[in-house]
Amino acid sequence: MSRVGKNPVPVPAGTTVEINGQTVKAKGKKGELTMRVHDDIVVAREGNVVTVKMRQNNTRSRVLWGTNRNLVRNLIQGATDGYTVNLEITGVGYRAAVDAKGLKLQLGFSHDVNFPIPAGIAIKIAKPTEIEISGADKQKVGQVAAEIRGMKPPEPYKGKGIRYANETILRKEGKKK
């Protein structure tokens, strides 16, 4: 039995959840999100909680039960509060700026790197070396953060590059004579 799947998902005040067959729609102050739950899973709303159950007890349903429960929870939480990922830029002359076209990054290349901001994502620059990515869809926020980090991942010798704010870079010792 799934320990995660058994837990009901609370619906916060101010958020509406509609269940129509296998489609779950959550609407809150951060936006409206929709997802389709797998056919082996049954979703039901009981008061101010959403429960996720298996249609039948087989291996495939057990595998998908906890995953779909967490996807529904992420959907409700994203519509209510949203998600945020913070990135830090380390390196001399490395910086970021937001303009009308998107995110403009100076990462030590001979040219500036332009990153178009997708719909549903907001990017703020508190300092030229700190990027805050926020949005309602957890998957989309994480994907944008990973794409930006992938432009110049941190290197292990000096630690230069773009990294997550809570990421620890394992440093290597340089060449010895």
Distance CA 38, CA 170 (A): 40
pLDDT over 80 at 38, yes or no = yes
Average pLDDT for residues 58-64, to the nearest whole number? 90
For 37-94, strand residue ranges (E) read 41-46, 49-54, 83-90
Distance CA 16, CA 43 (A): 15
Per-residue model confidence (pLDDT) at position 165: 94
Per-residue model confidence (pLDDT) at position 43: 93
Q: Could you tell me which residues come within 8 angstroms of residue 145 by beta carbon, excluding any fewer than 6 positions away? A: 85, 87, 133, 164
Mean pLDDT of the chain: 92
CA-based torsion, 117, 123, 124, 129: positive or negative: negative
- The CATH number that domain 9-80 falls under is 3.90.930.12
- Domain ranges in the chain are 9-80, 83-164
Q: CATH homologous superfamily of domain 83-164?
A: Ribosomal protein L6 (3.90.930.12)
Q: What is the band of 4 on the pLDDT scale with cuts at 50, 70, 90? A: confident
Q: What is the band of 1 on the pLDDT scale with cuts at 50, 70, 90? A: low
Looking at the DSSP bridge assignments, the partners of residue 82 are: none
For the entire predicted model, the pTM comes to: 0.88
Bridging pattern class, strands 113-115 and 83-90: unpaired
Contact of 67 with 139, CB cutoff 8 Å = no
Per-residue model confidence (pLDDT) at position 68: 93
Note the pLDDT tens digit of each residue in 130-153: 999 999 999 999 999 999 999 999
Q: Are the folds of 9-80 and 83-164 the same?
A: yes
